[in-house]
Structures are given as structure tokens and as C-alpha cells.
Structure 1
Amino acid sequence: MEIRKLRNEEFEESLSLSEYAFQYKVTGEDRVRAREKFKPDQIWGLFEGEGIGAQLTLLPLQAYIQGRPVSMGGIAGVATWPENRRQGYVAHLLTHALKTMNEAGQTLSFLHPFLIPFYRKFGWEIYCEYKKYTIPVGKFPHKTEIQGAVKRGTADIAVFQQLYDTFAMRYNGTLLRPEQWWKERVLDEDTHTGVFYSEQGEPEGYVLYKIVNQELIIDEFIYVNELARQGLWTFLANHDSMITAAQLKLVPSDDILPFLLPDPRVAQENYPYFMARIVNAKAFVENMTFKVPGSVQDRVLYIEDTHAPWNNGLWRWTVSEHGKVSLTQIEGDRADADLVCGIGTLTMLLMGYKRPLETARYGQLAGTAEAVEWLEALIPQAETALFDFF
């Protein structure tokens, strides 16, 4: 068995595996473009005998955590032939990817799961949800007289970038988007754009949308203040002669739009979305800022992580008066710990998706009541979101 990066000449074999595994076909000009975008240095393959037995893509990305960029490895395109399934091929690739990310200083990893229970076994855990709304035209927000204007058809990525960053930094787990990401992953020829400008000419919000079968399909709705939100909705409501409804996708889970509607009874769906995993617990935790607990400045936590053994074991958490934590690995076992949890639970807690008290209530965090309350006080409240897919 060999695990290595792919080579240029293995494009066709790699694409054939992806086509088979994900049930799609790339033909004609699309196949030519796929070859041009092929980045074999980002694709790891497992070889046993002839040909690729399994593969995954490891993307070098960054994510916002507490408003700061953190190096993150994005896992995508995990695929194997059916005759190779249940032979541990993907397990070997995931373990290798963790080691590779750790060596590259990527303290965090994200992936979109085909099956959540499968990836939970390897330490990934759900870290964000998104809402989806379907709003009939008759239930749109009221049109208002706005001091400002929406310019349709704006294509200036720098404007989108500025607004997106301001909005995205409010959440843990949103992506930093380089210019190429906007060009390849966000904007396309079918996407309409509208940017709200204040009376002073400052961009304060944007919407990315399509019109399909008399519906507005809103891919992104980003705003930095209430005026921009109302201005963008008034712009969208002016499509009322062309459409019957609007669909909003990938809405952050803390969004309260239905409450703000004249009639909140609209179709609302909630989806668990991406999974996250801390790759290096010491580096990740020591890069965060925590609340300063009361008189007790340190606790001992046992982290269970069989697939990244550098995380596994007993750790002493010491909190400074400035809210910085130092982690020191110490000798001992589970019985010596104040708190015990798996790496997936720890990831979920530190991302802000769930809280220690509720996690302990359902048995995913073990420890004394005093220690759980200490951790509850230590971790700042946060919201999570992701507006992208890979």
C-alpha cells in the first residue's frame, strides 16, 4: 500500500473515480476546463497494486476563529471504488491527512460529510447549521423608503470582499476567500448581483441571486447594518411582478428574518452542514482568547483522540489573567482528569456550536459539576456559520 500525491498524468483516472463515486459526468469543454484546473499536488491517492484505490483532496484554506484567520485543511472529494470499500482505504487516507495537516501547521480541518456517523469515528463533528427559507411574494418584508441606493450588476470583487469579511468575522468557521475563490467558487455567469450604497457612497451590503422558474434564488445576503438589510429587501421586493417567491439558502442559524416579516409563517428548514475537527489541540487552544474564570486558574482535561495521537492524553489547562491558555501534557490517565471528552466534542465546544453544560447533560462531556461549570465560564459565547461549499 502506498499513499502519495497524484501526478499530472493521472488526471483521467482521478476524474473517472470521482465521476463514478459521485454519479456525474464531465464532457466536452467542461472536461477540458477540469484538466486545466487539475491540481495533483492537492490530491492524495492510495495505491495498492495498479491504479488509484481511493483518493481525497486536501485544500489549504483559512477560517475565521474569533475574528482571526486560522490555517485550515479542507477535505473534499473523498472517493473509493465499490470493490475497495470496507477495507480501510479511506481510514488510511484520513489518518494520513491528519498527519499531513499537523506537519503543515493546519490546526483545524473542515469537511462536508456524505455520512455524519462515518466521519464522527475519526474525530470530525458538526460545527454549524444553516437555515433555508421559502417566502412567497405576498409575505416579503415591506418596501421602505431608503436613504441610499442599490446598484445592480456590480462585478467588483474588492467590494464584495470588504463586505463579506466584515460580516463573516462575526462567526466562527467562515472561510477567508481569496480572489480566485470568488472567481471559481462564488460568482458565475448566471449570478446576478446587487450592492447597497449609503448616501455617502459607501457599500454596506450585497445580494447574490438567480431567477429560476419565477423564483428568486438568493445565494448570499450580506449586510453590515439595518439600513442595508432593508434597502436590499426593498430591491428584491421590486421583482414582485416577475416572481412568485424567494428562496434563501445558507442563512446563518442565528438569523431572525421570520420574526421581522409581516407574517412569520413561512417555510423554514434547518440543516446540519459542515463538520470540523481540531488537528492540533495545543496549537489551536493556545491561539484562542478565553474568559478569565474565577479563583481556579487551571484544570486537567483528558482528550480522547486515537487518530491524532499527539492530542491524546492528559492536559493541564492554565489560564492567564488576560484569558490566554497554555496546555501542558502531563503523565496520568483518565482517572486523574477533571474533565474528559473526545476531540470531536472539544472541537464543537471551542467553535461555539454547543455549550459545556448542555454537552455534559447528555453525556458527551464527563467531569465534576464544578469542572463543567468552570469550562462553561471559560469558553466565550460564539455563533458558527459557513457560506461556502467544497
Structure 2
Amino acid sequence: MKNVRELDRSDYEEQKKVICVGFPWNTKESIDARLRSLCEHSYSFGSFEDEKLASQIIATPYTIDFHNALIPMAGIGFVATLPEFQRQGRIDDVMELLLEKMNEENMVLSYLAPFSYRFYQKFGYEKIFDMIEYSGKIEALPSKKGEDLVCMEMTWEEARPYLRKIAREDPLIEYGQIVREPWWEEYKFHLRKDYTFVICFKDKMPVGYMAYLVKDGIVDVFEIKNKGEEVLLALLDVLKDLEYKEFKFLETEGQSELYRLLDDRPENLLVRVLPGMMARIINVEKFLKMYPFQSSIEFALEITSDRFAPWNTGLYEIHGNKVKRVHETNLITAKMSEGELAKLLFGRLLLIEGRNKIEVKNGTYARMVGMLEKAIVMDPVLFADYF
């Protein structure tokens, strides 16, 4: 008989088995320390067939800095179902309970990296940013050795305090990045893979870092953070001193100056735009109250339906960040789905093209567009991932 419940420590070994089947590049031995750390800081739900775990999902609470608004976000990961239990609606059942749990835990947003965008759209998730993938010959990368910059290779324990300091001082953190906690730094960098860390110093002060590993003769750059173009060029110069000839690197556009530096698309380099992560509003009312509106705004919002989070359905009056539910309103009203609202508030819905997706009452569409264009944050989300 099929049933769904929250998992606890007694379910860990079965949970690990399901995850290793769903993500077969992991072994139970290689993933154990990392998965234990994640589970200790997360909540998990599973679908059972009698006593056998068939499907599971992990949700991890984080905080993101969204234009100086600190917003609770639950990151979804390791969604997996054993092959013999697939196509039975088990993930639907788990997601329904998990969304209720996230709302009870005061999560306001949820992110995930999908295997299928269409699959997760039915749960209310929408794509909120794209990724840029660079690959090709290392010799084609721009680089420059700054006379006052020194790059040093370090172990994780040596590099850790510098990574923390540089990340906390990153001016781009407010563009939707995670507020890093010590356990997550360990999970993200040390327990994930055997990275090499390079710290860049200027006048003995850390001003940038790069984490990379070598796989199949290709340098896979995991993350770069830098204070200024000259620091980025110095870090890229380190790659040219390696014995390897090819590299790859994935980031969101704007996380570094690399996309701008490669604007002329030099030979031997491939730059591709790839779809990025998806987001969902867990609690519309709380998000509206926390949202960093860029100008004073008064309007009403009607969420027409939200199958997996029905508490969001209804009519809201917004006066700046003062939000209240109402039964009727005289304010100009935008009527839309929760998914369209997520795209709107993350700057992904072009208002000029949204006429077929947003119904306006008590006013004209042109007037609503004029108000929202001044108030909505249009800067891109510079989020990598939380895995």
C-alpha cells in the first residue's frame, strides 16, 4: 500500500540506496559523509510501498540575499524514485506534503535544478535564470599577471577562511546568492569533490579565489570569485601554468567579468547559454511583504489557482510592503497564476509580452505595466547552485 511520510534517521540507509539508484554516479561509500551532512540540516519526505521506500525528496533550508532582503529559501535536491515504482504519481504525493512542510517551516521560496522543466512546472516552479558554459582551449583565455597580485595554491583547510571572507565581501551577494553557513561551506567544497584552491592576494589581502579539479585531462573550474577584472585575469593565468590544455566552467551571466571579456568569442572557445534553476513561491503573502519593491506602489494581486499550495490562492492588496488579504478591492488588479507571479517578481516576465498571461481589472494593462516596470527588480539573479 502506498503511503507518504517524513523520513527520520532510521530511514537513512534506505534513503541513501534510493538516491544512489537515481544518481548512479554516486556510490553509497563516496556519498555517505556528504549526504549525512545534508540530511542533518534538511528535512526529507518519502513515498513507501508498504515498508519499502520507493521515492524520496530532500529540502534544505537556506537564506538568500535578494537585493538586501534576507529571504528563507528551501533548496530541493536528490529527487529520486526506484525504477519499479516510477510513473505511479509518487513524486506528486511527496511534493504535496513537502510544500506543506516548507510552508509550516516559514520557507518563502524554493529552488531546484530540474531534470525536466515541464515536469516541475506542474508543481509551480518556473525558470528564473540562465547559465553560461565556457569550454575550450586554456590558451585562448584572456589572462594577465598583475605585478601586485600573488596567487597561491592551498588545501581546503588553508583556503577555507579566505573563501569565507571573500564570499562575504562579494558585492554581488545581494543578487540572490546564498548566505553561506559553515556547514554548507564544508558540504559544498570539501565533501563534494577533491578541489584544488587558488587564493589571489593583493598587498597580502585576499581579493579572489578559484576552485577547480582535473577530470579526464580537462580542468573543470567549479567557482571563481574576484574583486575586479585584474584579479580574474590573474586567476585565469594560473590555469595557463598547468600541464592541461582544455577547461570548462559554468556560471550565471554576470557572476564574473568573463562573459564580457569573451564578448568577441575568440577561436578555440565555446560559449553556450544553458537553462538554469527554477524557483517557486512557497508563500505569496510573505514574499510580497519581504519583496524589495524599487518604488512605492499600490495595486492588487489575485492568484487564480495554486494546486500544490492552495493557501496562496486569493486576492491581496499591496501598499508598498504592507500586504493584506481582501475579498474585494477598488485598486487596479493583476490577475495571474503563482508561476507567472514568480517570473514577474524575478524579472523574468517581459511585461510587454505578458498581456496574454496577466489579466488586469479596475484599470488598463498599460497603466499596470507602467507601475510594475518601476517597482519590480529587473536585475538578474546571480545564483549558482547549492549542491
Counterpart in 1 of 2:62?
61
Q: Deviations over 1:230-259 (max 9, x none)?
A: 3223333333xx122322222435755254
For structure 1, the 5+ residue unaligned runs are 320-324
Contact 1:42 1:58 in 2 (8 A): yes
1:377 match: 374
Matches within 5 A, 1:321-332: 325-332=321-328
Note if contact 1:57-1:78 (Cα within 8 Å) is conserved in structure 2.
yes
Aligned partner of residue 10 in structure 1, secondary structure: helix
Deviation, structure 1 residue 278: 0.9
User: How well do the aligned residues superpose, as a CA RMSD in angstroms?
Assistant: 2.8
1:286-305 equivalences in 2 (<5 Å): 286-293=289-296, 297-304=297-304, 305=306
- Equivalent positions of 1:362-373 (< 5 A) are 363-367=356-360, 368-373=365-370
> Matched residue of 2:239: which SS?
helix
Distance 1:124 1:359, change over 3 A: farther
Residue 35 of structure 1: CA displacement? 8.0
What's the TM-score, normalizing by structure 1? 0.85
Aligned to 1:4: 5
Q: Aligned partner of 2:346: which letter?
A: M
Alignment match, 1:182: 185
CA distance in 2, matches of 1:31, 1:156: 23
Residue 267 (structure 1) aligned to one of 258, 267, 270? 270
Q: Is the 8 A contact 2:352 2:369 kept in 1?
A: no
> Aligned to 1:282, what secondary structure does the other structure show?
helix
Inter-CA distance 67–237: structure 2 relative to 1 (3 Å threshold): farther
Is residue 346 from structure 1 mapped to residue 341 from structure 2 by the alignment? yes
With 205-214 and 219-228 compared, the bigger mean Cα shift is at 205-214
Correspondence for 2:285: 282
Distance 2:163 2:372 in 1: 38
Look up the match of 2:14. Answer: 13
- Quickly say closer, same or farther: Cα 1:134–1:32, change in 2 above 3 A: closer
The answer to whether the 8 A contact 1:139-1:262 is kept is: no
> How many aligned residue pairs are there?
375
> Are residues 68 and 299 of structure 1, via their aligned partners in 2, closer, same or farther at CA, if it must alter by over 3 Å?
closer
Cα 1:340/1:216, change in 2 over 3 Å: same
Q: Distance in 2 between matches of 1:292 and 1:264?
A: 38
In 2, the alpha carbon distance for the partners of 1:8 and 1:328 equals 40
Aligned in 2, Cα 1:111/1:258: closer, same or farther, shift over 3 Å?
closer
Change in Cα spacing, 1:25 to 1:376, as seen in structure 2 (3 Å) is closer
Identical residues among aligned pairs (%): 24
Are residues 1:360 and 2:361 paired? Answer: no
Note the alpha carbon deviations across 1:123-151, whole angstroms, 9 max, x for none.
11111221111142332214244322112
2:45 counterpart residue number: 44
Question: Aligned ranges for residues 1-390 of structure 1 at < 5 Å?
Answer: 2-24=3-25, 26-27=27-28, 29-30=29-30, 33=33, 37=37, 39=39, 42-153=43-154, 155-167=158-170, 169-187=172-190, 190-199=194-203, 201-239=204-242, 242-252=243-253, 257-261=258-262, 264-265=265-266, 266-293=269-296, 297-304=297-304, 305-319=306-320, 325-332=321-328, 338-352=333-347, 354-360=348-354, 363-367=356-360, 368-390=365-387
The alpha-carbon distance between structure 1 residues 350 and 166, as it changes in their structure 2 partners (threshold 3 A), is farther
Paired residue type of 1:372: V
- Give, in whole Å, the separation in 2 of the partners of 1:81 and 1:115: 18
Letter in 1 for 2:294: K
Task: Work out whether residues 138 and 239 of structure 2, in 8 Å CA contact, stay in contact via their aligned partners in 1.
Answer: no
Q: Which amino acid aligns with 1:286?
A: K
Q: How far apart, in 2, do the equivalents of 1:44 and 1:165 lie?
A: 32
CA displacement at 1:176 relative to structure 2: 2.2
Give 1:171 deviation, angstroms. Answer: 4.9
C-alpha contact (below 8 Å) 2:144/2:230 kept by paired residues: no
What is the CA-CA distance between 1:48 and the residue it aligns to?
Answer: 4.7
Aligned to 1:173, the other structure's residue is in SS state: strand
Secondary structure in structure 2 of the residue aligned to 1:39: helix
Structure-2 change in CA distance of 1:144 and 1:349 (3 Å): same
Amino acid in the other structure paired with 2:327? E
Using a 3 Å threshold, how does the CA distance of structure 1 residues 287 and 349 change in structure 2: closer, same or farther?
A: same
The CA deviation string for residues 285-321 of structure 1, in whole angstroms up to 9 with x for no partner, is 211221225xxx42121113222122112111112xx
Query: Is the alpha carbon distance of 1:349 and 1:168 closer, same or farther for their aligned partners in structure 2, counting shifts above 3 Å?
Result: farther
Residues 63 and 70 in structure 1, CA contact (< 8 A), matched pair in contact too: yes
SS in 1 for 2:124: coil
For residue 197 of structure 1, report the CA deviation from its aligned partner: 1.0
Contact 1:166 1:224 (C-alpha < 8 Å) held by counterparts: no
Q: What secondary structure does 1:73 align onto?
A: strand
Separation in 2 of the partners of 1:183 and 1:133?
Answer: 26
| TM-score (norm. length: structure 2) | 0.86
Which amino acid counterpart does residue 373 of structure 2 have in structure 1? E
- 1:286/1:326 contact within 8 Å kept: yes
